[in-house]
Amino acid sequence: MTYCVGTLTAEGLVMLADTRTNAGIDHISTFRKLKIWKRPGERLVALMSAGNLAVTQAVVGLLEERMEDNSVDPGETILGAPSMFAVARLVGAAIRDVREVDGPSLEQGAHGFNATFLLGGQIAGRKLRLYQIYAEGNFIEATEDTPFFQIGETKYGKPILDRVMSFGVPVKEAAKVCLISMDSTLRSNMSVGLPLDLMVYRRNHPGEYIERRIAEGDPYFEDIRHRWSEALRSAYRGIADVPLDG
């Protein structure tokens, strides 16, 4: 399984992914699910994926092959497309291309053709965008009303996002909420696991971004986990017990 969360805020973009993949309970590996492409000063494109690893790797592989293929119009590649909307369409088209090849045999298995992506980024002079792209290749866009998207094992980490995430929170705070949301998921589902990949981007600085890998023992993340756990315990202790009698 996988958990990825992306948030669009007034200040910028936060993307967070775990790295655990599993095929059954005894075949667990670490794969990076956050991919970043950039032209410093001109564009930053980040893609996170959930679903069948063979499918998501094939999609990323196809997108990269096209960037290196001189016979492909640069405007039809991630690093040359004129807008993030065009980039989202390229990702969608790559998903459909992979589906054409691998879909029929996957549909015969129990899990089907299963892949979802979060695509975020900005091209100089254009707006910062965050999209969720479906296995069908179509997509929806985050807005001020709905500033976050989740893919993979989404439910455990959703309550905290529902309560505190909004378009107005600063990116440092948005990153913190995403990490808390990830922590809830890590605790409740062992098929989501460390290390994590975190990317934070401030609007209108294409090419500049902060990327961190958070591994087991990372002092800040350990501190969040501990404090959040303590805070929840003390919060629930602070609420009066159910008045059962009388």
Q: Which of the stretches 2-10, 89-97, 128-136, 159-167 binds a second copy when contact is defined by CB under 8 A? A: 159-167
Q: Looking at 22-30, 46-54, 79-87, 163-171, which segment touches a second copy (CB under 8 A)?
A: 163-171
Q: Specify the 3-state DSSP secondary structure of 134.
A: coil
SS (H, E, C) the chain: CCEEEEEECCCEEEEEECCEEECCCCCEEECCCEEEEEECCCEEEEEEEEECHHHHHHHHHHHHHHHHCCCCCHHHCCCCCCCHHHHHHHHHHHHHHHHHHHHHHHHCCCCCCCEEEEEEEEECCCCCEEEEECCCCCEEECCCCCCEEEEECCCCCHHHHHHHCCCCCCHHHHHHHHHHHHHHHHHHCCCCCCCEEEEEEECCCCCCCEEEEECCCCHHHHHHHHHHHHHHHHHHHHCCCCCCCC
Q: What minimum distance in Å lies between the beta carbon of 61 and a second copy? A: 31
Among 73, 136, 162, 222, binds a second copy (CB under 8 A): 162
**How far is Cα 204 from Cα 230, in angstroms, rounded to an integer?**
37
Tell whether residue 224 is a contact of a second copy (CB under 8 A): yes
Segment interacting with a second copy (CB under 8 A) among 39-47, 118-126, 144-152, 224-232: 224-232
**Shortest CB 100 distance to a second copy, Å:** 25
Tell me how far, at minimum, the Cβ of 237 lies from a second copy, in Å.
Answer: 8
Regarding 238 and contact with a second copy (CB under 8 A), the answer is yes
Judged by beta carbon, residue 26 or residue 245, the one nearer a second copy is 245
Binding mask 164-193 for a second copy (x = CB under 8 A): x-----xxxx-xxx-xx---x--xx-----
Shortest Å distance, C-beta 157 to a second copy: 8
Site string for a second copy, 190-219 (x = CB under 8 A): --------x-x---------x-x-------
Q: Supply the DSSP symbol for 64.
A: H
Write out the residues near a second copy by the rule CB under 8 A.
Answer: 155-156, 158-160, 162-164, 170-173, 175-177, 179-180, 184, 187-188, 198, 200, 210, 212, 220, 223-224, 227-229, 231-236, 238-245
